[in-house]
Each structure stands twice: as structure tokens, then as C-alpha cells.
Amino acid sequence: MNLEKVVFGFFILLALTLNFGFVLGDIGNPDHHHAYELYAAIVVSLIATVLKFGDRSHMGAVLLATSLVADLQLLMAALVWALAVHVQGISDAEIMPSVVSLAGGALLSNLASCVLLIIETAALRR
């Protein structure tokens, strides 16, 4: 068993599940979407991205691209939320659909990354 591959897969799947946990719930209800959950999703997604930098294959490039998209969308979700609430004074309930939509886009990107990882793993020959 390759420990590097285990850690790599762990962080990719953890990024997906944390993102899913944030998105899950009523899109307009701020009680269903916690800021710390978004923060955890961002941190784990960034760690997963850093782990993807070492792979020089074509699949590695595609995995890196999906991870960068997820990072960008999660960071934009946090930025939109922070600016709307703390700068513009908009309530959480008003901005939450936009935040969850951005995190939902990151969720799709994380899902694509996991599917690609499963395809790559299934294609490996001993």
C-alpha cells in the first residue's frame, strides 16, 4: 500500500464530503450552513490542491484543474459572504443562496475530481 496515495485520496474525499456537508440543507436558511464548515472545506480543498502539484501526468493536470476550480469557487463563496455581511450589511438569509450556489459549483468540481480518481485507480494494472 502506498501511503502517499492513501493521504492523497483521503484529502480528495474529505474535501468532497466537507463541501457536501456545507451545501446540504435549505439554500436560503443560514442555520443550515455554518461558516466554520465553509472554512474547513476551504482549508481541506487547498491541502488537496497542494498534494496534486506533484503529479506530472495528463490525469494529474486534470485533477489539478478540478481542484483549482473548487478552491476558487469556495474562496469566492467566503468572500461574497464576508463582504455582503460585514461590508454591505446584508443579512445572512439574503446572501446565503449565492454563497451556497458557489459552494455547489465547488461540490461539482470535487465530485468530478473523485470520479477521475476512481477511474485512474481502476485503470491501474499491477
Spatial separation of the C-alpha atoms in residues 70 and 45, rounded to whole Å:
7
pLDDT, tens digit, 9 for 90 and up, residues 99-116: 999 999 999 999 999 999
User: So what's the pLDDT on residue 58?
Assistant: 87
Q: Which residue has the cell 461574497?
A: 80
Spatial separation of the C-alpha atoms in residues 17 and 43, rounded to whole Å:
13
Instruction: Specify the pTM.
Output: 0.90
DSSP letter string, 59-94:
HHHHHHHHHHHHHHHHHHHHHHHHIIIIIS---HHH
